[in-house]
C-alpha cells in the first residue's frame, strides 16, 4: 500500500528523525521481510526505508511530500501512528533543531564523499546483508544499488568474502580479483563496535587501467631493449639528433667515429653545417657519400623528423662505403659466376647429342657450338667460316642431324671440287635432251635436298654467275632444271661454308654482296686449333681410341714430351692435320706407345723454322740460265710445301711418295715452311 506523508520539521527528514522513523517502522512492522520491501519514493528516487544513509541522502525538505510504499496492507492504527509521526508540532526545540541540522549536514557530506569516491564500497551488517553500496561499486558489479541492498553479499557479489571477514573479524588487504573484465584490488575489513563485529566493508579499487598501463610499459621496455639490441648489432652508424643537431642518441659505432674525429656530439661535425641546414630546410631525406676526416667514406642518410609540422631533429644513418664496395665486388663476382653457370647450363641443355662427336672443351669452341645448336632448332640459313680442317663439315652435319630435317637428306656440294661447267647441272639438274648427252632427266642437288639440307661447302669458290643463280634459288625457293619449263618449288635449308674471307671477296668484287647478306643469317665461326690448344689432348685421345678401333691396334698412350710437342706446334692444317699426324704415328708405332721420334720433324723441332732463313716462296724462279737440278728441286719443295699441312698431302700433290717428300723437306731444311699458307688457300 502507498501512504502519502509530508515532512514538517524545519530540517526536513534529518538523520535523527530518519533513524526514529526506521525504528518506528521496525516496531510497527515486526516482519523483517515486509520491512525489507518497504520503500520511500521521492522525486523519481526509490530507496529502502531501513537504509538510513540512503534515506537521509534523499534530502526531503520541510513541507515536502513523499510516498511510503509498504509491501503489505497496514491496519488503520499502524497507518495512524505513522501519519502522527509526521504530523506538524507547534513547538520545535531550537537547540535540538540545530543539533539535527549539524547531524544532517555531516551525514550528507559523508554520504556525498563516499558516493563520489572512485573506489567501490559495499557494507554488510552482521548477517552479511548488504546495507550500503555506493554508485561506483554498483557500476563495477554492473547493477543498481537497490538490486543489492538487503541482499546477502555472498549471493549477489561474485567471490564475496565478507562473510569470512565477519567470521574472523580480520582485515583482508588488497586481494586481486577479476569481475566483469575489471581487475579489482579488494580490501575487506570488519566493522567493530563495542568489541563486537557488527558488520563488514569491502572497498574495490579498479586497477584495470593501471594494469594496462603497466603492461604497455613492459612492452615499451621490451621494445626498447630489442631496439637497443638491433642498433647494437648493426654495423651502420646511427644517431638521433634534436632540432639543433645535437646527437641525443648514438649507437656504439657512431660513438667510435665521434671519438675518432674528436668531434662535438653534433651531426654538423660529421656532415658539416651546410648539409645540416639543407636537411632542416628540404624536409626530405638527404643521401650523400660523405668523406669524414679525409679517411673513411660513408653513405650518409639523414631523415628529418617533423612533429606537427615543426622540425624536431633528424635520424642519421652512416654506412661505411668500404663495406658496400666489398659487397658490390662480391655481388659482381656472384653475378659473373651466375652468368658463367647459366651459360654453361644453356650450353649443356642446348647442345643436341648430334654435337657430341665434335670434340673440344675450349670456351671459344663451345660458344660456336652453342650458336650452332640454337641454329639447328630453326630453318635459318647458316654460314660456317673457319680455316680448312677446323670442322666446318662436321658442324654442318651436326646441325642437320639436330634439326627437324634429320630424316631427309643432307646433300653436300663441294663448290671447289666440281668443274665450273658442270656446276649448274649438278646444282639444278637438267631435263632429258636439254643438251647433247642429256639422255635422261637428271635431278640437281637442290632437288635432292628437298625437305632436307643442302651444304654448300667452299661457297667462296663459286663463279659470280653461279652465285647469282644460287641467290635466285634462295630468294624464290624454287629451282629450274636446265632445259626445264616450269620451276620446281623447294623446301631446302641452306648451310654454306668457306675458308675464304667472303667480306674481302665482296670488296674485291669476287663475291656478290646480296648473296653474302643472304647467307649471313646465322654466321658461325670455327676457331683454328692453335687458338684452342687446350683441346689438343682431348682430340688426340679421341683419335687414339677411334684409330685403335679402326686399325685394330692397341696403342695405350704417349711418350713423355709427346703431348708437349703437339702443343707447341701451330697446326696450320688444324684438326685434319692433327688427325693425319696421329694416324701416321699409328702406322709408324713399333709398340703400344706413340713416340716423339715418329713425329714429323717440323713438329718435334718446333723452333727449327725460326732458325731457318729460307724465305717463303711466292713463285718458282726459273731464271734465264740452266742451274743445277737440286736448286730447282729445293724451290719446288719450298713453294709447294707451304700449301699442304702434311707430307702425305704434299706427296700426293707432287705425285711422289710420302717418303720422298719427307726426305726432301728434311734435306733442304724446309720443315718450317710446311703448311704455312695452307689456311688461306
Ligand X SMILES: Nc1ncnc2c1ncn2[C@@H]1O[C@H](COP(=O)(O)OP(=O)(O)OP(=O)(O)O)[C@@H](O)[C@H]1O
Instruction: List Cβ<8 Å contacts ≥24 apart for 365-370.
Output: 365/526, 365/527, 365/532, 365/535, 368/395, 368/524, 368/525, 368/526, 368/527, 369/395, 370/343, 370/346
Size of site (CB under 6 A) for ligand X: 17
The verdict on 576 binding ligand X (CB under 6 A) reads yes
Q: Which is nearer to ligand X, 179 or 359 (CB)?
A: 359
Query: How far lies 355's CA from each of 21, 317, 451, 479, 579, in Å?
Result: 121, 57, 21, 31, 18
Please say which residue, 576 or 634, places its beta carbon nearer to ligand X: 576
Cell for 595? Answer: 713416340
For ligand X, give the closer residue by CB, 403 or 579.
Answer: 579
Q: Which is nearer to ligand X, 107 or 390 (CB)?
A: 390
**Sole binder of ligand X in the list 79, 129, 156, 394 (CB under 6 A):** 394
Record the cell numbers describing residue 86, joined without a space.
509526521
Binding mask 356-385 for ligand X (x = CB under 6 A): --xxx-------------------------
Least separation in angstroms between CB 574 and ligand X = 7
| Residue whose C-alpha cell is 713463285 | 619
448-477 residues near ligand X, rule: CB under 6 A: 457
Candidate list 12, 391, 452, 528; residue touching ligand X; CB under 6 A: 391
**Is residue 386 part of the contact set for ligand X (CB under 6 A)?**
yes
If you ran DSSP here, which 8-state letter would residue 411 be given? E
Q: Nearer to ligand X by C-beta: 29 or 456?
A: 456
Q: Is 573 in the site for ligand X (CB under 6 A)?
A: no
Compare residues 245 and 528 and give the one whose CB is closer to ligand X.
528
Q: In terms of Cα–Cα distance, which of 102, 142, 87, 104 is closest to 18?
A: 104
Q: Considering the complex, state which of residue 270 and residue 365 has its C-beta at the smaller distance from ligand X.
A: 365
Q: What is the largest CA-CA distance in the chain?
A: 183
Interface residue with ligand X, options 182, 392, 518, 544 (CB under 6 A): 392
Binding positions for ligand X, 539-558, rule CB under 6 A: 539
Task: For residue 348, give every residue at least 6 positions away whose Cβ sits within 8 Å of its Cβ, in sequence order, or none.
Answer: none
As measured in angstroms, the least distance from the Cβ of 564 to ligand X is 21
Q: How far is the CB of 381 from ligand X (least distance, A)?
A: 17
Instruction: Determine if 527 is a binding residue for ligand X (CB under 6 A).
Output: no
d(CA 562, CA 622): 40
d(CA 34, CA 20): 18
Q: Is 245 helix (H, G, I), strand (E, B) or coil?
A: coil
Tell me how far the alpha carbon of residue 275 is from its chain's centroid. 34
Q: Which is nearer to ligand X, 140 or 456 (CB)?
A: 456
Cβ contact 396:374 at 8 Å: no
- Which position among 257, 575, 661, 670 is part of the footprint of ligand X (CB under 6 A)? 575
By CB under 6 A, name the one of 12, 389, 600, 675 that touches ligand X.
389
Beta bridge partners of 266: 246
Report the residue number, 518 or 576, with the smaller CB distance to ligand X: 576
Contact positions with ligand X (CB under 6 A) in 114-153: none
Q: How far is the CB of 253 from ligand X (least distance, A)?
A: 59
Other CB atoms closer than 10 Å to residue 316's CB: what's the count?
Answer: 26
Given the rule CB under 6 A, which residues bind ligand X? 358-360, 386, 388-394, 457, 499, 539, 575-576, 579
Amino acid at each position: 500500500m502507498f501512504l502519502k506523508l509530508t515532512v514538517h520539521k524545519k530540517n526536513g527528514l534529518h538523520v535523527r528523525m530518519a533513524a526514529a522513523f526506521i525504528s518506528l517502522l521496525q516496531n510497527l512492522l515486526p516482519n523483517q521481510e515486509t520491512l525489507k520491501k518497504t520503500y520511500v519514493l521521492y522525486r523519481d528516487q526509490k530507496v529502502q526505508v531501513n537504509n538510513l544513509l540512503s534515506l537521509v541522502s534523499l534530502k526531503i525538505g520541510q513541507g515536502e511530500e513523499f510516498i511510503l510504499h509498504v509491501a503489505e496492507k497496514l491496519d488503520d492504527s499502524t497507518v495512524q501512528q505513522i501519519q502522527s509521526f509526521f504530523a506538524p508540532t507547534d513547538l520545535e526545540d531550537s537547540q535540538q533543531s540545530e543539533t539535527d541540522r549539524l547531524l544532517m549536514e555531516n551525514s550528507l557530506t559523508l554520504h556525498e564523499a563516499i558516493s563520489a569516491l572512485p573506489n567501490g564500497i559495499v557494507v554488510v551488517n552482521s548477517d552479511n546483508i548488504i546495507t550500503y553500496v555506493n554508485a561506483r561499486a554498483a557500476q563495477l558489479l554492473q547493477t543498481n544499488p537497490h538490486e543489492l541492498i538487503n541482499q546477502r553479499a555472498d549471493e549477489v557479489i561474485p567471490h564475496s568474502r565478507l562473510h569470512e571477514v565477519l567470521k574472523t573479524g580480520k582485515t583482508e588487504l588488497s586481494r586481486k580479483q577479476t569481475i566483469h573484465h575489471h581487475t579489482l584490488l579488494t580490501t575487506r575489513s570488519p566493522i567493530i563496535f563495542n568489541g563486537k563485529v557488527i558488520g563488514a566493508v569491502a572497498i574495490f579499487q579498479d586497477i584495470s587501467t593501471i594494469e594496462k598501463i603497466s603492461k604497455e610499459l613492459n612492452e615499451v621496455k621490451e621494445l626498447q631493449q630489442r631496439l637497443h639490441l638491433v642498433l647494437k648489432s648493426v654495423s651502420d652508424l646511427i644517431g638521433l639528433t634534436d632540432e639543433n643537431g645535437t646527437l641525443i642518441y648514438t649507437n656504439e659505432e657512431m660513438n667510435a667515429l665521434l671519438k675518432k674525429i674528436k668531434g662535438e656530439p653534433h651531426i654538423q661535425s660529421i656532415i658539416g653545417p651546410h648539409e645540416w641546414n639543407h636537411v632542416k630546410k628540404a624536409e626530405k631525406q638527404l643521401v650523400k657519400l660523405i668523406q669524414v676526416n679525409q679517411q673513411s667514406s660513408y653513405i650518409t642518410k639523414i631523415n628529418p623528423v617533423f612533429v606537427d609540422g615543426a622540425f624536431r631533429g633528424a635520424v642519421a644513418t652512416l654506412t661505411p662505403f668500404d663495406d658496400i664496395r666489398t659487397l658490390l665486388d662480391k655481388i659482381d663476382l656472384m653475378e659473373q659466376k651466375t652468368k658463367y653457370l647459366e651459360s654453361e647450363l644453356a650450353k649443356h641443355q642446348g647442345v643436341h647429342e648430334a654435337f657430341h662427336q665434335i670434340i673440344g672443351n675450349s670456351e671459344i669452341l663451345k660458344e660456336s657450338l652453342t650458336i650452332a645448336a640454337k641454329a639447328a632448332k630453326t630453318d635459318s640459313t647458316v654460314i660456317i667460316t673457319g680455316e680448312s680442317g677446323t670442322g666446318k663439315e662436321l658442324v654442318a652435319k651436326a646441325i642437320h642431324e639436330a634439326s627437324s630435317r634429320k630424316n631427309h637428306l643432307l646433300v653436300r656440294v663441294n663448290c671447289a671440287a666440281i668443274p665450273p661447267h658442270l656446276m649448274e647441272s649438278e646444282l639444278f639438274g637438267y631435263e632429258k635432251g636439254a643438251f647433247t648427252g642429256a639422255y635422261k632427266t637428271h635431278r640437281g642437288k637442290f632437288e635432292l635436298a628437298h625437305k632436307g639440307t643442302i651444304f654448300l661447302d667452299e661457297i667462296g669458290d663459286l663463279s659470280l654467275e653461279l652465285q647469282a643463280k644460287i641467290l635466285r634459288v634462295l630468294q624464290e625457293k624454287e629451282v629450274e632444271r636446265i632445259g626445264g619449263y616450269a620451276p620446281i618449288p623447294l623446301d631446302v635449308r641452306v648451310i654454306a661454308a668457306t675458308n675464304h674471307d667472303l667480306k674481302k671477296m665482296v670488296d674485291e668484287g669476287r663475291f656478290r654482296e646480296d648473296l653474302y647478306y643472304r647467307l649471313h643469317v646465322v654466321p658461325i665461326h670455327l676457331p683454328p686449333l692453335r687458338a684452342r690448344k687446350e683441346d689438343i689432348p682431348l682430340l688426340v685421345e679421341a683419335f687414339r681410341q677411334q684409330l685403335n678401333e679402326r686399325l685394330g691396334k692397341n696403342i695405350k698412350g704417349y711418350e713423355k714430351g709427346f703431348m708437349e710437342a703437339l702443343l707447341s706446334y701451330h697446326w696450320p692444317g688444324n684438326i685434319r692435320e692433327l688427325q693425319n699426324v696421329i694416324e701416321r704415328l699409328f702406322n709408324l708405332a713399333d709398340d703400344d706407345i706413340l713416340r716423339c721420334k715418329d713425329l714429323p720433324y717440323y713438329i718435334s723441332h718446333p723452333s727449327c723454322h725460326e732458325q731457318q732463313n729460307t724465305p717463303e716462296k711466292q713463285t718458282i724462279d726459273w731464271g734465264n740460265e740452266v742451274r743445277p737440278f737440286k736448286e730447282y728441286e729445293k724451290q719446288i719443295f719450298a713453294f709447294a710445301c707451304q700449301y699442304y699441312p702434311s707430307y702425305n698431302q704434299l706427296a700426293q700433290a707432287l705425285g711422289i711418295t710420302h717418303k720422298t717428300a719427307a726426305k726432301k723437306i728434311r734435306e733442304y731444311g724446309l720443315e718450317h715452311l710446311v703448311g704455312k699458307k695452307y689456311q688461306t688457300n
